[in-house]
A and B are shown apart, each in its own frame.
Chain A
Amino acid sequence: MKLYSLSVLYKGDAKVVLLKAAHDVSSFSFFQRSSVQEFMTFTSQLIVERSSKGTRASVKEQDYLCHVYVRNDSLAGVVIADNEYPSRVAFTLLEKVLDEFSKQVDRIDWPVGSPATINYTALEGHLSRYQNPREADPMTKVQAELDETKIILHNTMESLLERGEKLDDLVSKSEVLGTQSKAFYKTARKQNSCCAIM
């Protein structure tokens, strides 16, 4: 079971802002790593964009599960994991991180922040520690607070999109993805394996 990325974002009225991110792309081959990282940022932003405030959701895309929590104050977190990683622990992690972040970083900085300007350094450590869910969260079996029935489940990324919207278009318009990543995506698409880059 594996965690690939952990991001903190702000869901602004106009757009979603990435505040801080940590990644573990060690399981990907060397040349894929920067593209994978870009796609994870792209995906995280898209998911927060399409999720309402005050909700939790899990979006499935092939072997990946993206867990998102958007707080009522517009602070949001996304964890990208594999399909073995227990979702309960993923949501515990998100809750914890957003809580800590909101105490360390002033609210006024959220709408205009970026990874370069935001002063929050604990993300890498959390990502690394939570790779082993039982070590990081020994009480995971007993956790009773979170009501799992309230978590929205999406079976594909596509189900987040509006009618008529195409993922291909969003990819090609994206500012987050570099040219190489977009090229990788096109090839993967042709082979009928969307996001096979990851």
Chain B
Amino acid sequence: MAETNEEVAVLVQRVVKDITNAFRRNPHMKELILSGTLNPIKDLHLGKLALTKFPKSPETWIHRRWVLQQLIQETSLPSFVTKGNLGTIPAERTQRLIQEEMEVCGEAAGRYPSNYNAWSHRIWVLQHLAKLDVKILLDELSSTKHWASMHVSDHSGFHYRQFLLKSLISQTVIDSSVMEQNCLRSEPALVLPKDEEAAASTEEPRINLPHLLEEEVEFSTDLIDSYPGHETLWCHRRHIFYLQHHLNGSQLSQAMEVDGLNDSSKQGYSQETKRLKRTPAPDSLGLEMEHRFIDQVLSTCRNVEQARFANAYRKWLVTLSQ
């Protein structure tokens, strides 16, 4: 590939002239990468440059995913390493790739409003490279918070946060059911997460899901009050409310029942409670709080759109409890 600055400049110019075809995957391109002639890391770098000019370019993002897939499949180095008795985390090399992709997506998201292609690529990376590692999900949730607060109409950005929260919920359920299986099969003397020594050595992030969701609600309230009239913020609130109160019945409480796992005699009882809890119970306290929030907004807002969104949200809440 290009070595000198001049060669790079020519290459970039050719890419810029015909972005639709610059990254079209054809047999030739595939051969070049697989034969080692084309360095995938350099190819990713070229893509990164191209995205500064064409932040949406679907072909560039699609090609990027193909290259990343080659990188994690082809090498003999492991993408994941085991850590303690609770599973795997991404290897350092994979972590670096993930971080780079987060950065590239972040830049592209800033260059074009509601850049769906950039955000869905970001999600893909978390699913396929990071395998929804909980620590990475938590990091992403906190590191994208400021960006979201400065892009209050960026629907894709908020959808990303919804994805993160949903994934955290599902990952916690998986972890706790995996732990449940391990515990029921093994000796009572097995070290459990609530044993402090074990917790320290495995470095497993202790996530408090209800607290995370509560924080997101506060975040939503803060933004809706500061920036009246943005539909994206109200849509986001609906999603969070739904996650909080409708998954409450089944998944959330199951995830928080880690403490009950060491007692195998409880197994029968917990099956029963699980079945009962699966039917979503309308959380009346939550609903009440939301109605109070709507009242507060309507009484103080002077923005016509804001009033419209608040009323629509109220109607939505009503349909939910029917």
List residues of chain A with CB under 8 Å of any chain B CB: 1, 27, 29, 63, 83-84, 86, 132-134, 140-141, 147-149
Please determine whether B302 and A1 come into contact, CB atoms closer than 8 angstroms: no
Could you list 10 further interchain pairs (A-B, Cβ under 8 angstroms) beyond the known A86-B227, A133-B226? Answer: A1-B227, A27-B111, A29-B53, A83-B153, A84-B151, A84-B227, A134-B226, A140-B226, A148-B302, A148-B303
Are A86 and B302 in contact (CB-based, < 8 A)? Answer: no
Q: Does B200 contact A (CB under 8 A)?
A: no
Determine whether the beta carbon of B150 is less than 8 Å from that of A1.
yes
B152 within 8 A of A: yes
Taking the nearest CB of chain A, how far is it from the CB of B152, in angstroms?
5
Q: Which interface residue of B149, B226, B230 has the most chain A CB atoms within 10 A?
A: B226
The one of A132, A140, A149 in contact with B150, judged by C-beta atoms closer than 8 angstroms, is A132
Partner of B226, one of A27, A29, A141, A147: A141
B58 within 8 A of A: no
Residues of A within 8 A of B303 (CB): 148
Nearest-Cβ distance from residue B115 to partner chain A, whole angstroms: 14
List of A residues within 8 angstroms of B228 by Cβ:
86
Q: A1-B152, A84-B152, A132-B150 are in contact. Are A141 and B225 (CB under 8 A)?
A: yes
B230 and A84 form a contact (CB under 8 A): yes
B78 beta carbon closer than 8 Å to chain A: no
Chain B residues contacting A132 (CB-CB under 8 Å) are 150
**Interface residues on chain B, number (Cβ under 8 Å):** 15
Q: Is B282 an interface residue (CB 8 A)?
A: no
- Most A C-beta atoms less than 10 A away, residue of B111, B113, B151, B227: B227
Check B151–A63 contact: CB distance below 8 A. Answer: no
Which residues of the partner chain B approach A29 to less than 8 Å between Cβ atoms?
A: 53
Across-interface contacts of B227 in A (CB, < 8 A): 1, 84, 86
Q: Write out the residue numbers on chain A whose beta carbons fall within 8 Å of the beta carbon of B230.
A: 84
Q: Mark B152-178, 1 if CB is under 8 A from A, else 0.
A: 110000000000000000000000000
User: What are the nearest 8 A-B pairs in CB distance?
Assistant: A148-B302, A84-B153, A141-B225, A84-B152, A86-B227, A141-B226, A1-B150, A134-B226
Given the interface pairs A148-B302, A149-B302, the reply to whether A1 lies near B225 with Cβ below 8 Å is: no
Q: Which residues does B use to contact A, with CB under 8 Å?
A: 53, 111, 113, 149-153, 225-228, 230, 302-303
Find the A residue at minimum CB distance from B52: A29
B226:A86 contact, CB within 8 angstroms: yes
Chief secondary structure at chain A's binding surface: loop
Residue contacts A-B, CB under 8 angstroms, 27 given: A1-B150, A1-B151, A1-B152, A1-B227, A27-B111, A29-B53, A63-B113, A83-B153, A84-B151, A84-B152, A84-B153, A84-B227, A84-B230, A86-B226, A86-B227, A86-B228, A132-B150, A133-B226, A134-B149, A134-B226, A140-B226, A141-B225, A141-B226, A147-B302, A148-B302, A148-B303, A149-B302
Give B303 Cβ to nearest chain A Cβ, in Å.
7
| Bound CA span A148–B149, Å | 23
CB distance from A18 to the nearest CB of B (A): 29
Please name all residues of chain B whose beta carbon is closer than 8 Å to the beta carbon of A133 when the two chains form the complex. 226
Chain B residues with Cβ below 8 Å from A148 are: 302-303
CA distance A132 to B113 in the complex (A): 18
The docked-state distance in angstroms from the alpha carbon of A149 to that of B230 is 18
Chain A residues lying within 8 Å of B113, measured Cβ to Cβ, are 63
What is the chain A residue whose CB lies nearest that of B111? A27
Query: How long is the Cα–Cα vector from A149 to B307 in the complex, in angstroms?
Result: 14
Residues on A with beta carbons closer than 8 Å to the beta carbon of B302: 147-149
CB distance from B80 to the nearest CB of A (A): 38
CA distance A88 to B225 in the complex (A): 12
Q: How long is the Cα–Cα vector from A86 to B153 in the complex, in angstroms?
A: 12
**Complex CA–CA separation, A27 to B111 (angstroms):** 8
**A161 to B269, alpha carbons, bound, how many Å?**
75
Report the bound CA distance from A132 to B226 in whole Å: 12
Question: In the complex, what distance in Å separates the CA atom of A1 from the CA atom of B154?
Answer: 10
Closest to B149 in A: A134
Write the nearest CB–CB distance from B232 to chain A, whole angstroms. Answer: 9
Instruction: Tell me the smallest distance from the CB of A53 to a CB of chain B, in Å.
Output: 24
B225 contacts across to A, CB distance below 8 A:
141
Residues of A with C-beta under 8 A to B53: 29
Specify which chain A residues have a CB less than 8 angstroms from the CB of B151 in the assembled complex. 1, 84
Q: Give A132 to B53 CA distance when docked, in angstroms.
A: 25
Could you tell me the distance between the alpha carbons of A63 and B153 in the complex, rounded to whole angstroms? 12
Q: Chain B: which residue is nearest A149 at the CB level?
A: B302
